[in-house]
Amino acid sequence: MSTPDDLEREAYSHLDECRFAEAREAYRRVALAKTPTVAMLCNLGVAEERERLAFARVIAERYPENMKCRLHEATTMLVCHVPNWAVLLCTDLLQLAKSPKEEMEVRCWRFRAAARCRDRYSEFLEDFTAIWRMGDQYDWARLGRGMLLEEVAALTNRESLPMLEELDRGQWNSTGVAELIRTKIAELRLLADAIEELGMRKLKKKLAREREERRQHGQGYKGDA
């Protein structure tokens, strides 16, 4: 009969070989057989997310002409914390949009994903502008403007400042929108100053280096970056 340690080695082997469904089930059995470590829980999370992504890809490939199924893969990428993948997929899906509503839906998801990336300024700005202008053409598209503003209000990284400063130079025919953008710019600058004053950025870099060193020494799944 397999011991909990045997099960854990089996789970790690599945994960290392990208057999995510098997790894997920094995890690769940281990977690119920002995008190899980932080590394084990991390690996379980990796297996669950990667299996979810893999099945979303299966659905998209099974129904390649169905935009809802294709977008399901993009939204799964976003939920599983790989927004860059979602941006790339949505960029491809924009070429396949067959109606303004499909274009709108794809752009909304790409905008959400781009807002969570550090290097997707062009997509962020392009989609904000396109979605906003679609509201001038179609009444139903005006609902997208609310989503845009909610995403802008939720930004917390100072890396977003160049995007916001570019938005601030736009013409949105709304005093409230202009005020929101300028308020968010001021807020992020204040946040950055406060974090710098507390030394949090240096601390985060130090802890990140330590995590990387532990991972390289086998303390946790080496392929989860």
- pLDDT by residue (tens digit) across 29-64? 999 999 999 999 999 999 999 999 999 999 999 999
Extract the tokens encoding 92: 């491809």
For residue 202, the model assigns a pLDDT of 78
Q: Is the dihedral of CA 3, 6, 11, 12 positive or negative?
A: positive
Measure the N-to-C terminal CA separation of the chain; round to a whole number of Å: 34
**Residue 77 contacts residue 54 (beta carbons within 8 Å):** no
Q: What pTM did the predictor assign?
A: 0.81
For residue 135, the model assigns a pLDDT of 93
For 185-207, what is each residue's pLDDT tens digit? 999 999 888 888 887 777 878 88
Amino acid, res. 121: Y
For residue 32, the model assigns a pLDDT of 93
| CB environment 158-182: b (16+ within 10 A), e (fewer) | bebeebbebbeeeebeeeebeebbe
For residue 218, the model assigns a pLDDT of 54
How many CB atoms lie under 10 A from the CB of residue 196? Answer: 12
What pLDDT tens digit does each residue of the chain (225 aa) get?
Answer: 678 888 899 999 999 999 999 999 999 999 999 999 999 999 999 999 999 999 999 999 999 999 999 999 999 999 999 999 999 999 999 999 999 999 999 999 999 999 999 889 999 999 999 999 999 999 999 999 999 999 999 999 888 999 999 999 988 878 899 999 999 999 999 988 888 888 777 787 888 888 777 766 655 444 443
For residue 221, the model assigns a pLDDT of 44
